[in-house]
Amino acid sequence: MSREVEQVDIAPSIASLLGFSFPCDGTVIDEVIGHARHCKRSFLVIVDSLGFEEYVQNRGSLPFVSSMEARGLLFKCLSYSKHTTPSIASILCGLRPEKHGIRRTEDAYARKVRCLPEAAHEAGLRVVVIMEEYGAFSFQGLVTLVRPVRDRPDVLEFDEESCRNAIRAIEELDPNLLVMHLRSLDVSGFVPPSIELIDRSLRAIAKSLVGETVFFIVGDHPPHHREDEEHVALIVYKLRPMTERVPRSPS
């Protein structure tokens, strides 16, 4: 049985790993600290529509993610909203929707509550945010690097570009905190092309790591047609770089 946690518990848990406190509605998940204590890099990958049951049913088609889960932690994580923007705000601010008041992306620009990426940046850490451009620009000036991804009809292409941006940011900046949003499962559904893309993207990002990194893979909300489901999957796993990198010779 997977233990139940809530989306608001993610931000304070990441903050605790990264060495600062983040007062909010959530509490630090002890198992995460036990699993990844002293790890100074956290990547938060928000996978749109990754409901808990959908993850469990499809884990056979997610070989990389399920290998992380098998060696790491899987939580049944309470989501408060059926919509993307308020859910992502709850994850990033550690506040329930009635407290953060962010219902649409434009509300993020008028936001008065502090979010985890901003707090991490203020704590002197390198922070990267990769998401759809309108949402991404609300972080401009608050984090080290914003990589906006232009919305387009082909969502698989959108996620591929997000993945390339993540790899480039890792190579250029070695971020302590990287936040990204993958959208294929929500737009295309749980069909092989989108499921495989999510798994492949996470594997590619993992391959580019430059140091020990804790992955937090979490759904924003269950799939929209699942009125009865309230939980998303939260997978936490600390990964080491797959290959030792040879330092670049000075040019």
CB closer to Zn ion, 3 vs 152:
152
Strands 231-239, 73-78: pairing kind? antiparallel
For residue 11, the minimal CB distance to Zn ion (Å) is 18
CB closer to Zn ion, 72 vs 135:
135
List 84, 165, 194, 201, residue binding Zn ion (CB under 5 A):
84
For residue 168, the minimal CB distance to Zn ion (Å) is 25
CB closer to Zn ion, 183 vs 238:
183
H and E: helices and strands count for the chain: 12, 8
Tell me: does residue 194 bind Zn ion (CB under 5 A).
Answer: no
b/e map 226-251, b = 16+ CB within 10 Å: beebbbbbbbbbbbeeeeeeeeeeee
Cα–Cα dist 192/179, whole Å: 25
Looking at residues 17 to 46 of the shown chain, list those that interact with Zn ion (rule: CB under 5 A): none
Helix axes 192-207, 63-71, angle to 10 degrees: 60
CA 36 to chain centre: 16
List 6, 48, 160, 199, residue binding Zn ion (CB under 5 A):
48
- DSSP letter assigned to residue 50: -
Cα–Cα dist 130/114, whole Å: 18
User: How many residues form the binding site for Zn ion (CB under 5 A)?
Assistant: 4
Tell me: does residue 220 bind Zn ion (CB under 5 A).
Answer: yes
For residue 88, the minimal CB distance to Zn ion (Å) is 8
For residue 85, the minimal CB distance to Zn ion (Å) is 8
For residue 89, the minimal CB distance to Zn ion (Å) is 12
CB closer to Zn ion, 58 vs 176:
58
Nearest to 70 by CA among 235, 211, 249: 235
Cα–Cα dist 123/176, whole Å: 11
First to last CA, the chain: 54
CB closer to Zn ion, 28 vs 129:
129
**Binding string, residues 143-182; x marks residues near Zn ion by CB under 5 A:** ----------------------------------------
CB closer to Zn ion, 48 vs 199:
48
Binding site for Zn ion (CB under 5 A): 48, 84, 186, 220
